[in-house]
Structure 1
Amino acid sequence: MDRRGSEHLMNLRSDIFDIIRGIKDPEHAQSLEELKVVYLDGVHVESFQPTELLDKFPLPLRNSVSSDDRFLVSVEFSPTVPHCSLATLIGLCIRVKLEESYPGQLKLNVSIKEGTHTTATEISKQLNDKERVAAAMENPHMRTMVAECLAPS
C-alpha cells in the first residue's frame, strides 16, 4: 500500500475510534474510553478496494468516503472485569454506532480481547452473528438500553 492509501486508512481508524470512544458504559457514568474498554490499538482498518482508489478521497476521509467504498474494520474491546454481565450490550453498542455512522460501508468484526472476559469467545461470536444482532435490536428494552448508551452526553 502506498503512503497516501495508508494515511487514509489511519485517518479512518482514528475517525472510527472517535466515534466509539464516547459511548457511555451501561453501568458506570463514564465513557468506554475513560474506562479503557475501547482503545485506539483495538481498532484495525483494511480496504476492500485497490489502494489507488483511495487517492480520489480528500481528507478528512469520513466526510468524503463514497458509499461505494467498503472497509474491513475490526474493533476489539476489554470489559472492565472478566465477569462483566454487560459485555454483550457494550459490543452491541459499538456495532450499532459504527453501522449507523457508516451504513453499508463496513464489514465489521467486534470482539472481546482474549483473556479479558470469561466468555469472550462466545460473546464475540454472538456480536458478529447478523441474525442475533437483528433479534437483539428488535427487543424494545434492548433498543432503549443501546439508545441510552449512544445518547450524547
Structure 2
Amino acid sequence: MAPALINANPVVYEKKERPARTTRPGDTEFDEYASEIIDQLEIFDHIRDIKDPEHPYSLEELKVITEDAIEVDDKRSYVRVTFTPTVEHCSMATVIGLCLRVKLMRSLPSRFKVDIKLAPGTHATEDAVNKQLNDKERVAAALENPNIVDMVDECLSPSFE
C-alpha cells in the first residue's frame, strides 16, 4: 500500500515563459570568474525546475518558490531563498529546502553564503526546519544518507516533458 500524500491535489500554476538568457562557460553552472553580476532572476532560473518530491510538478508550478522570494546581494556574496510549502504540515519541507540548498551549492561560486528559509507562518514546524536547513553539520549529515541523496538527485534531475 502506497503512503498517502499530505496534499493529494495541489494547486498547479502555469510556468512563466522566459526569454533565453545567454549561457556562461560551464553551461548550466555559474562561472566564478564571469564578470556578469548574479541576480534574483539568475538564481530563480536555476531553481525553478526543481521537481517536488511528491508530485510530478516543479516548485515553480506549485508556487513553492517565486522570483519575489529570492534575495541576492552579489557584492556581499549572499543569497536567501524563502519557500512556501503547499500545506502547513508538509512532510517534505526539509527535503525541498535541502534540494534548494544542494542546487545552489552545486551552481553558485563558493564565495556565496546561502540561507534557505520557510516563509513565516507557512509551516507547523517552521523554526525546526529553518534550523535544520541552515546548520552546516546537519546538512552535511543529511547528505551522507544515500536515501536522502537519491531523493535530492531525483528532484534535481532534468525533466524531459
TM-score category, normalised to shorter length:
0.7 to 0.9
- Length, aligned pairs only: 124
Query: Matches of 1:103 and 1:81 in 2, distance apart?
Result: 33
- 70, 74, 83: which is aligned to 1:77? 83
How far residue 103 of structure 1 moved from its aligned partner, in angstroms, is 3.9
* 2:133 aligned partner: 127
* 1:112 aligned partner: 118
Structure 1 runs of 4+ with >2 Å offset: none
Q: 1:17 to 1:113 in 2, by over 3 A?
A: same
* 2:42 aligned partner: 15
SS of the equivalent of 1:138 reads: coil
Q: Is the 8 A contact 2:39 2:74 kept in 1?
A: no
* 2:73 aligned partner: 46
How far residue 12 of structure 1 moved from its aligned partner, in angstroms, is 1.7
Query: Matches of 1:34 and 1:91 in 2, distance apart?
Result: 16
Structure 2 segments unaligned to the other structure (5+ residues) = 1-35
How far residue 102 of structure 1 moved from its aligned partner, in angstroms, is 1.1
SS of the equivalent of 1:44 reads: strand
* 1:52 aligned partner: none
Query: Matches of 1:47 and 1:20 in 2, distance apart?
Result: 17
Structure 1 segments unaligned to the other structure (5+ residues) = 1-7, 50-70
**Identity across the alignment (%):** 55
* 1:64 aligned partner: none
How far residue 47 of structure 1 moved from its aligned partner, in angstroms, is 3.1
How far residue 121 of structure 1 moved from its aligned partner, in angstroms, is 1.4
SS of the equivalent of 1:88 reads: helix
Query: Matches of 2:128 and 2:75 in 1, distance apart?
Result: 27
CA RMSD of aligned residues (A): 1.3
**1:102-149 deviations in Å (ceiling 9; x for gaps):** 141310000000111011111011100000000000000000000000
* 2:97 aligned partner: 91
What TM-score do you get using the length of structure 2 for normalisation? 0.74
Query: Matches of 1:90 and 1:106 in 2, distance apart?
Result: 20
Query: Matches of 2:108 and 2:148 in 1, distance apart?
Result: 21
**1:56-92 deviations in Å (ceiling 9; x for gaps):** xxxxxxxxxxxxxxx1100000000000000000000
What TM-score do you get using the length of structure 1 for normalisation? 0.78
Query: Matches of 2:98 and 2:111 in 1, distance apart?
Result: 18
Query: Matches of 1:131 and 1:77 in 2, distance apart?
Result: 22
